[in-house]
Amino acid sequence: MGKKVLVCGGAGYIGSHMVRQLVESGFEPIVFDNLSQGHAAAVTGVPLVRGDLLDPAALAELFAAHAFDAVYHFAALIAVGESVIAPDIYYRNNVVGALNLLDAMRTAGVDRFVFSSTAAVYGNPETELIAETHPQTPINPYGRSKRMMEQVLEDYGRAFGIRSVIFRYFNAAGADPSGEIGEAHDPETHLVPNVLLAALGAREGLDIFGDDYDTRDGTCVRDYIHVNDIASAHLAALDWMETRDGSHVFNLGNGNGFTNREVLEAARRVTGIDIPYRIGPRRDGDAATLVADSTRAKTLLGWTPKTPEIEAIIESAWAWHRAPKYGPFSGA
Ligand code: UFG
């Protein structure tokens, strides 16, 4: 039997792709999810335990029932704009929830943890490409909640021997080629799905938030990374922790920035649809440009993204959005 791993948030977008890769690689994932954002239908063939990180008793029961080799933590709130309006909810879920999880691990003697962090910990970048050593001055509560947990992991490594790998994702997009899982947030706030929903007529058109940024066409620049490439780095993290104490941080991005208008143009080419859009005001908490230097993950983890091209990423998302198996547009 493969090693048992806990995947918190395994019914969500990135977590469900992780579960798939873990199964393919011979692991035995158990999903823990409160289904506030995730979908039960995204979890097939592996156990789904419905529960909340804010419920220590549920965590104690989970860790008593299974001997986990490692824990993946994808169960966080992720909308930058929402975090500005409701910081209380963000800190409770992303910090208190994660602390509960770490405490349950300590009680059970589990010492390997893979944490989903974000490019939002950097704030407004001082360099064109952002390396892990870049100063961290997050500009929204979401980024600050993740930054806090990174600091906690450093301290827990030293004090309690918790080994961790921290991944700072840039912009996750795309879907598994199986067509069985994909992005299905409600409400959807992310650019790639919103462009495609506009292409399908499921929303009136794309609202582009601001065109007066200091970028080549005035719209924000982001670095899009295929969700399965994020998941493959998380697999490599388990090997990395075999031989290393402490916490280790890696960026995950492709190192290519695309403006929001360029993403729209790429989606028009992929879909063949003249997707309507309008320019609106800036969204609170958005940095102008976020592009990764992921040299560290490539050289140290041996990580190689398989789908780095923006059109291929959008193509895979398009296949999902035309026939989603669950979520607000599935018709299920
Ligand atoms: N955008 C639009 N219209 C939309 C949706 C988004 O113009 O309908 C714009 C945003 O203003 C931003 C860009 O598209 O300029 C990307 O926005 P997303 O919401 O898709 O992604 P973010 O960059 O805000 O956030 C994502 C993750 C965060 C992470 C961040 C770090 O959701 O968890 O990347 O790069 F912190």
Q: Report the distance separating Cα 192 and Cα 264, nearest Å.
A: 8
What is 88-153 written as a DSSP string? HHHHIIIIIHHHHHHHHHHHHT--EEEEEEEGGGS-S-SSSSBPTTS----SSHHHHHHHHHHHHH
Question: In testing the pocket of ligand 1, which one of 129, 144, 171 has its CB within 8 Å of the most ligand atoms?
Answer: 171
Closest CA to ligand 1's atom 18:
190
Closest CA to ligand 1's atom 6:
191
Residue 80 belongs to a domain: yes
Residue 184 belongs to a domain: no
Closest CA to ligand 1's atom 24:
80
pLDDT for 1 equals 65
- 234 shares its domain with 268: no
pLDDT for 193 equals 98
- 32 shares its domain with 167: yes
**How far does residue 207's CA lie from ligand 1's centre (Å)?**
12
The secondary structure element, H or E, covering residue 82 is: helix 80-85
Residue 330 belongs to a domain: no
Range of the domain at 275: 191-222+255-322
Residue 56 belongs to a domain: yes
**How far does residue 73's CA lie from ligand 1's centre (Å)?**
21
**How far does residue 227's CA lie from ligand 1's centre (Å)?**
15
Give the total number of structural domains in the chain: 2
- 241 shares its domain with 309: no
Residue 178 belongs to a domain: no
Determine the atom of ligand 1 nearest the C-alpha atom of 190.
Answer: 20
- 216 shares its domain with 229: no
- 36 shares its domain with 67: yes
- 19 shares its domain with 120: yes
- 214 shares its domain with 147: no
Q: Which residues are catalytic?
A: 142
Evaluate whether 11 touches 43 at the Cβ level (below 8 Å). yes
- 113 shares its domain with 239: yes
Determine the atom of ligand 1 nearest the C-alpha atom of 283.
Answer: 11
The pLDDT averaged over each successive group of 10 residues in the chain (332 residues) is: 93 98 98 97 98 98 98 95 94 98 98 97 93 96 97 98 98 97 95 98 96 97 98 98 97 98 98 98 90 98 98 98 95 68
Question: In testing the pocket of ligand 1, which one of 94, 115, 146, 190 has its CB within 8 Å of the most ligand atoms?
Answer: 190
**How far does residue 190's CA lie from ligand 1's centre (Å)?**
5
**How far does residue 191's CA lie from ligand 1's centre (Å)?**
6
**How far does residue 79's CA lie from ligand 1's centre (Å)?**
8
Q: Report the distance separating Cα 190 and Cα 187, nearest Å.
A: 9
CATH code of the domain covering residue 104: 3.40.50.720
- Token representation of residue 61: 């029961």
Closest CA to ligand 1's atom 3:
208
- Token representation of residue 79: 């909308």
Residue 303 belongs to a domain: yes
Closest CA to ligand 1's atom 21:
190
Closest CA to ligand 1's atom 33:
78
CATH code of the domain covering residue 202: 3.90.25.10
Q: Residues with Cβ within 6 A of ligand 1?
A: 78, 80, 118-120, 170-171, 189-191, 194, 206-209, 220, 222, 260, 283, 286, 290
- 121 shares its domain with 269: no
pLDDT for 62 equals 98
Q: Report the distance separating Cα 167 and Cα 162, nearest Å.
A: 16
Residue 332 belongs to a domain: no
What is 175-211 written as a DSSP string? --TTSS-----SS---HHHHHHHHHTTSSSSEEEE-S
- 268 shares its domain with 160: no
Determine the atom of ligand 1 nearest the C-alpha atom of 282.
Answer: 11
Residue 182 belongs to a domain: no
- 326: closest CA among 179, 227, 192? 179
Q: Report the distance separating Cα 20 and Cα 227, nearest Å.
A: 12
**pTM above threshold 0.75:** yes
Q: Report the distance separating Cα 174 and Cα 128, nearest Å.
A: 24
- 204 shares its domain with 300: yes
- 12 shares its domain with 127: yes
